[in-house]
Structure 1
Amino acid sequence: MKCWQAAKVAALVAAICASGAFSGAASAAEAFITDQTGDEVSVLDLGLKHVVARIPVLGKPAGIAMARDGRTAYVTSTEGKYVSVIDTASRRIASKIAMPDTPLGIAIDPEGRYLYVAGFYVPRLYKIDLSTSAIVATVEVGASPSGVALTPDGTRIVTADRDDNQISIIDTKSFSRTGTVKVGTHPFGVTIDALGERVYAANVESNDVSVVDLKTAKLLGTVAVGKRPYAIALAKGRGFSTDQYGGTVSVFDLSTLQPVKRISVGDYPEGIETSADGNSVYVVNWFSNEVWAINAETLAVTAKMPVGDGPRAFGTFLRETL
């Protein structure tokens, strides 16, 4: 090869490397999985498909909310009145936020200023200022609030009030409850679509998913799914519910609300979330200690990854890394 040709190739390689076209420079993803029985959070590298770190978290961790920038994860413990704040880069607990009640459901606003935590026994929703780690407001919701979700613009919050068979709708500015909607029996997980228009509630004891119009606070319809649905993800115009007792993920069409398929997964699936690119759905299997990946388009299982003991990951647990 002549000198000028070698120089040209070297320059081209340098340009490609700088642009991130090689896989080594591309972004990857991690899942922070709350292992309730193991009293830890497993950090699962979704590219390598194995656990790369384990973070001790006491009190039987279950709920999790990942900050939008992926730098911080907030974890609730079902046997501890606190929220553990995890620095995702160092894999360490940076601090703990004291709570007056046992927390479960948790969500963070899009700007990362406030954390919203449901107190399971009182029951109330707590607003925490993350600059001070102080509770700055509370609002009463229904009995045994479980899942918590925010609209993408952060203007409204929804809680799944398990023992009242309803969802509560809260205005974030006034931090007051503006409405309730009756859903199925014992709603647990709650998900809001990307437009902030529809709420999907997984009803554990009636084996269905309720679909609510958030603007009108009206029930739009109900979708029959598998046994004991716990949480819902949305991808490719479909809904995906984890059916804990069925060991399946039920897939349904979001426009017609008709069933599409049931996919067999591990034992007692609970946590579920869609990847940032919308191509994969990750399912956390509580009893078989695994995370399964499903192709959101073909509905094929593409990976089975072991994690810690008793994984739940109830909430948002995925983050992008560089």
Structure 2
Amino acid sequence: MPAGLRLRGVALALALAAAAVAPAAAGSPAAREAYVTNQTGDSLSIVDLRAGTAAPEIRIGGKPAGVAVAPDGRFAYLTSPESKELVVFDAGTRAVAARLKVGEGPLGVAVHPAGDRVYVADWYEHKLFVVDPVAGTVTASVEVGQSPSGVAVTADGTRILTADRDSNQVSIIDAATLVRTGTIAVGQRPFGITVDAEGRRAYTANVASDDVSVIDLAAGQVIGSVKVGHRPYAVALTGGRAFVTDQYGGTVTVFDVSTLAVVKTIEVGAYPEGIEADPTGAAVYVACWEANTLERIDTATLTVTQRIPVGDGPRAFGRFLAPGP
């Protein structure tokens, strides 16, 4: 089993540090909850971001890893690689609504902005599957590169991108026709992939080359590379900056997306993985695998202001924040 799907039993105990979550900016409500997949714990932790506490864990099974919250927050879609399932979690009832068999090693997952399609990257079949969450069926698949991991969709819903880890490339797929329109060579072993709000640039965290590739989507090529910490996993974007989880470094590297200059390296809990920015831009949240925490980084001070205990082995690989109010 590849390193990206590995299981670990070691955990560090970190105490909860009290801190207030920054208020939402006008017209941009702060995220209400975080849906954190705990792979070793076989569970889901739902974190109340305002209270800074996690509810009792909910058993998911299949070693859940990927997560994508629907745009309206009604459902969270979780990938369980060991049980080969896409798990549909109902946010209202706080229960699993469906379990759908998808491929042989579902990992990365993303939801179309319309909310009517879910895209699942399959590590072993080297495909992107398209799932109708209402019908509960796989409606199509697209051949991509070897061992696709992260998935991202442009905000206008026209393009889907996969980070093809073992091909050292990104695949670009037309969302309407489901035709792969191109590939872009990036750094070594790309894992997480993130697209900016304008759909102009994409960023891959390259695990083996310890860097981030910056892609100009219109030109279809890499326009820059940023050296970050050891074993980068995923990228979050906010306020003109990129925040990169460095798994082996126990850090988050922050760089300016205009100059590509590193601004700061922030120490976080052991083995940071999933990362996402709050819609207000006031905070970035990162799941730390060995620390068993979800940690809040204040984007103004670039410091960790909160450490919230979650389940064992949190990954939160994808879009895990649920919209407010």
Number of equivalent positions:
297
Deviates more, 1:187-196 or 1:80-89: 80-89
> Please, which of 179, 184, 205 is the counterpart of residue 182 of structure 2?
179
- What is aligned with 2:84? 81
**CA displacement, residues 38-63 of structure 1 (integer Å, 9 cap, x when unaligned):** 11000111111111242110010000
Residues 273, 317 of structure 1: 8 Å contact kept: yes
Residues 214, 223 of structure 2: 8 Å contact kept: yes
| Per-residue deviation, 1:297 | 2.3
More relative contact order, 1 or 2 (CA 8 Å, 6+ apart): 2
In the alignment, structure 1 residue 138 sits paired with structure 2 residue 173: no
> Please, which of 23, 33, 37 is the counterpart of residue 40 of structure 2?
37
- Separation in 2, partners of 1:46, 1:99: 31
Read off the aligned partner of 2:71 and give its amino acid letter: R
In the alignment, structure 1 residue 126 sits paired with structure 2 residue 129: yes
Runs of 4+ in 1 over 4 A off after TM superposition: none
**CA displacement, residues 274-320 of structure 1 (integer Å, 9 cap, x when unaligned):** 01211100010001100110111221211111100000000011113
> Please, which of 303, 314, 318 is the counterpart of residue 317 of structure 2?
314
Read off the aligned partner of 1:211 and give its amino acid letter: V
> Please, which of 47, 61, 64 is the counterpart of residue 64 of structure 2?
61
Read off the aligned partner of 1:282 and give its amino acid letter: Y
**CA displacement, residues 22-51 of structure 1 (integer Å, 9 cap, x when unaligned):** xxxx97611110000111000111111111
- What is aligned with 2:14? none
Read off the aligned partner of 1:73 and give its amino acid letter: A
Residues 44, 53 of structure 1: 8 Å contact kept: no
| Per-residue deviation, 1:130 | 2.1
Q: Secondary structure at the match of 2:57?
A: strand
| Per-residue deviation, 1:140 | 0.4
Per the normalisation by structure 1, the TM-score is 0.90
What does 1:1-322 correspond to in 2, within 5 Å? 29-322=32-325
- Separation in 2, partners of 1:213, 1:133: 35
Read off the aligned partner of 2:275 and give its amino acid letter: I
* Aligned residues with identical type, % of pairs: 53
How large is the Cα RMSD of the aligned pairs? Answer: 1.1
- Separation in 2, partners of 1:137, 1:28: 32
Q: Which has the higher helix share?
A: 1
Residues 236, 297 of structure 1: 8 Å contact kept: no
Kindly name which structure, 1 or 2, has the bigger radius of gyration based on alpha carbons: 1
Per the normalisation by structure 2, the TM-score is 0.90
Read off the aligned partner of 1:289 and give its amino acid letter: N
Q: Secondary structure at the match of 1:311?
A: coil
Q: Which runs of 5+ in 2 are unaligned?
A: 1-28
Would the alpha carbon gap of residues 223 and 56 (structure 1) be closer, same or farther in structure 2, given more than 3 Å must change?
A: same
